[in-house]
Chains A and B, each alone.
Chain A
Amino acid sequence: MLDLNQRSKSLSNWWTAGTMAAAVALLAASPAQAKTLGFVLTIWNIAQVETKFIDECPEGFNIGYDELWWRGLSKDDRAKYTDNGLRTRLDRYFNAIRRGPNKEDVCMNPTAVAAPPHLLVEGKQSYGLNLDGDTEGKAGANSCAHENFEGVDGTKGVDNQMYRLLGCVYGFRSYGQFEVNANENRKSNGNGMTLFEITNVDDVKNDPDVTVNIYRAIDPYTLDGAGQFTPWASYRIDAPDGKPRYKTTLKGRIENGVVLTEAGDSNVPFYGNYTYMNQLIRDMRVRLEISDDGASAKGMLAGYYDVDQLLFYVTGLGPIQSTAISDCPAIHNAAYKVADGYPDPNTGKCTSLSSAFNFKAVAAFIVHPKKEVESASAGK
């Protein structure tokens, strides 16, 4: 059973949080001495290689909806709708976004206008994994032909078409408004809280068989006086009537202190830019590197991200686009072109984007419902 006594020997042991989390979880079925680790995700970003001089985007960043709208105006209309240039981009958003021929909101109706050009990443390196097993960019049984990246660690055949699509959109850079805002949203309102629970851990350095569970929490972050994430706080699983609303279970292993999972269809909760999502990520694999003191972790997860799901998010970004500089029709059109995973059996066109996300986390106690009911399986 659980080794609560270890706590008295050294609280600096980094598996302690998980041990105690398991105590709450009442893991009666846990094998003797097995431990549990818990983490709450704090920072989540689309994994992007961002060079200092934006070499990966040789033609610069994409222009946004505001500039596209402005370019289409007559001189008189420019003066009229921008109050002779005095109205801010945010103030004129509701005019600018309705640039459809019949004043359609082009985020809600991205096909109402001819697709503007969209600049893709031309860099050779990317974060991510070789999801399709191919290193030459050929189509496979479950993928469409696409250009591969080389991993930042030299891995060949890395697939990350989401980076190719969004890497030259200012707002999706790690310092862009979409990414920063999403993380700040979560930090301030505690929505879309993601928990990682690693169970069945016999050896925190090397263990061939562990289980990684992903849940959503109902408790917001605990922050210190400087607004930083505080480790070792308790988070309850979002589990109405004892049934976790989000649960993904992946088999995994630990190699030299790094948790690595096998691929599996996953549901990863998300909240950012005023949008909730149940992110379906197919063939998802997780890499989690835990700090020596066990108080924090950083990691990457990679898998196939549904195009429609991404566009649901992009088209709902609203006035934030005014500072993030993006354009819905441009992304919409390009997304389907660069999609490389899960071809539609009828059309043969791919419906998913290979993707990778970097994240950070701090140690957490994951509090299970007193009577936990088996949740729906992931991947739905």
Chain B
Amino acid sequence: MLKRVVIASFATLTLAACGEPEPVVKGAAPMLRLHTEAQYRNAIADVFGTQVVVGGSFDPLIRTNGLLTVGSAAGAITPAGLEQYDRRARTIAAQVVSEVNRDVLIPCTPADAKRADAACAAEFFSRVGKFLYRRPLTDLELKTPVTVAGEIAATTGSFYSGISAGLSGMLVSPAFLFAIETTETDSGGKPRLDAYSKASRLSFLLWNSGPDEPLMAAAESGAIHTDKAVAAQVDRMLTSPKVEAGLRAFFNDMLAFDEFAKIEKDSIIYPSFSLAVAEDSREQTLRTILDVVFTNNGDYRDIFTTRKTFMSGPLGRIYRIPVDRPDGGWMPYEFPENDPRAGLLTHVSFAALYSHPGRSSPTIRGRAIRESLLCQRVPDPPGDVDFSLFNDPNSPNKTARDRLTAHSVEPACAGCHKLTDPVGLAMEQIDGAGQYRTEESGVTIDPSGDLDGVAYTDAKGLGVAMSRNPAVPACVVNRLYSYATNKAPERDERDFMAYLEKDFADNGYRLTRLLRTIATSNALFTVTPAPQQTAAVTN
């Protein structure tokens, strides 16, 4: 298990941050964004426990500025999606009131289980509603489910059926499905996020879930409007096991690992690749990253060079490494010093996800590196690309490098391929399923190249070049701030981004430090007013 050994140093680090004043940002309008699937699941687990199963599929979100979380600000619920939410809500509610769970999850016992009990219903709905909506319920918001519960109980002769109906309604309420921020004015007449909106920003950034009881209390008392209280809450929250889930969610989003849900491999070409391999490869990389940046509080850039990782049974077949628990579970593993693998670019996850079903793709891999890890924009290919050269099994061009060289002589293609292919070709010794190879079609693969002038001889070398590239830490700063604010940084935030980058560098590229700096910054909570939206939501 990952050990949490990093938090004790936060108080000391806080002092170091005081060296330079934080640049002021203009801020943006308060958010209204659809919760991601993970956030929905976390909310249900937080309120009702993991024994309540959340089924069904969620509508996809649009990745924006490299993150689904940013895209969620433009997320909408389609009619079909609403049906799914409704069905899911009914299933969850039925589990909550089931005979197995009701005594634990419902804090009171009705006087008569065959009749309505408004007092017990109100106690239940006010308690769970506060955490589902991430703020206390208004009178109307409480009255509605209590009324529904009463009517259904009268009709069905079951108090618990009534509770189930009322809870189902809450679970399809916009107040639950969306993060809806509201603003107020401070004592100086300036707009600010209200206390509960602030609490939610913190909890979703650090935990990818809603606020807990102490954070809600800080919001309820208004203490959260002081820097000291925010810092105290952040430091408390950073010691929670939920931070690991928060960081995991961030990297899952940043690396577009949600795409694993759609990964497909040709079983004839890659018989060893299975669903278990896909799932474990994703988990391996996330574990490796968390081991570097969280458990060991190491330099973020080390994720590109670390030989330390974790291995499972299914992955052992791909890496050709023996594992001591082939029936399940993970074991720490360190690639030998002169092994061709080190760092996440050599992991099965990255290689397999960014490939075609039946072959590798230097272009897709190169684009992923440029866009996800260096925050550079690579234009989409034109619609009339001729792929026949790639798909011809009798092509005289045996290796991907040969084929791409022939292809990129087209002026319309050359520009982008010059950006993607050199880095992507570095990974050619790892095939489309993540297996190591030295030859393609009987010809020795040449994985050498250079990244922005830094030469390398293989994917491992590319990892070293990445770790030394200034765009790499700048990119994770950009992404983490975007993740925190659910928007791409604006022009007026350049100074603040530079401030974060410097703070990140000055503190050894410790990601937990960056997380704390963002979480305790004024920039995270700075907003411009949006009074009309606020009014609409309240009602």
Contacts and interface: CB of A to CB of B under 8 A. Distances in A.
A225 B324 contact: no
B436 interface: yes
B326 A236 contact: yes
Contacts of B268: 226
Nearest to A4: B336
17 contacts: A4-B339, A5-B336, A8-B338, A8-B340, A11-B320, A11-B438, A20-B322, A222-B326, A230-B272, A231-B317, A232-B317, A233-B313, A234-B316, A234-B323, A234-B326, A235-B326, A367-B323
A339 interface: no
Contacts of B339: 4-5, 7-8
Contact of B274 (A10, A16, A224): A224
A234 B328 CA distance: 11
- The bracket for how many chain A residues form the interface is 20 to 34
Contacts of A367: 322-324, 326
B528 interface: no
B336 to A, nearest CB: 5
Interface in B277-326: 313-314, 316-317, 320-324, 326
A17 B320 contact: yes
Chain B residues touching A, majority SS: loop
Interface of B: 267-268, 271-272, 274, 313-314, 316-317, 320-324, 326-327, 336, 338-340, 435-439
Contacts of A10: 438
A232 to B, nearest CB: 5
A5 B321 CA distance: 13
Interface string A216-240: 0001001011101011111110000
Given A219-B326, A224-B274, A367-B322, 8 more contacts: A7-B339, A11-B320, A12-B437, A20-B320, A232-B317, A235-B326, A365-B323, A366-B322
Given A7-B339, A8-B339, A219-B327, A230 B317 contact: yes
A24 B331 CA distance: 12
B271 A224 contact: yes
B271 A233 contact: no
Given A224-B271, A225-B267, A8 B324 contact: no
A361 interface: no
Interface in A141-188: none
A292 to B, nearest CB: 14
A234 B322 contact: yes
Contacts, number: 79
A232 B319 CA distance: 9
A149 B267 CA distance: 43
Contacts of A129: none
B486 to A, nearest CB: 39
A23 interface: yes
A131 interface: no
A123 B75 CA distance: 76
A96 interface: no
B279 to A, nearest CB: 14
A7 B338 CA distance: 9
B267 to A, nearest CB: 4
A24 B338 contact: no
Nearest to B437: A11
Contacts of A11: 320, 435-438
A301 interface: no
A365 B271 contact: no
A226 B267 contact: yes
Nearest to B265: A225
A235 B325 CA distance: 9
Contacts of A16: 320
B314 to A, nearest CB: 7
A11 to B, nearest CB: 5
A195 interface: no
Contacts of B439: 12
B271 A230 contact: yes
A235 B437 CA distance: 24
Contacts of B314: 222
B320 A225 contact: no
Q: Considering the complex of A and B, which 7 residue pairs feature the smallest CB-CB distances, nearest first? A: A365-B322, A224-B271, A225-B267, A234-B326, A24-B322, A234-B323, A234-B322
A12 B436 CA distance: 9
A7 B324 contact: no
Contact of B272 (A7, A12, A232, A235): A232
A225 B267 CA distance: 6
Nearest to A369: B324
A235 to B, nearest CB: 7
B340 A233 contact: no
B318 to A, nearest CB: 8
Contacts of B272: 224, 230-232
B336 A233 contact: no
A4 B327 CA distance: 24
A350 interface: no
B316 A232 contact: yes
Interface string A7-30: 110111000110011011000000
Contacts of A8: 336, 338-340
Contact of B271 (A21, A225, A366): A225
Nearest to B438: A10
A5 B336 CA distance: 7
Contacts of B437: 11-12
Nearest to A363: B320
Interface in A239-288: none
Contacts of B313: 219, 222, 233-234
B140 to A, nearest CB: 54
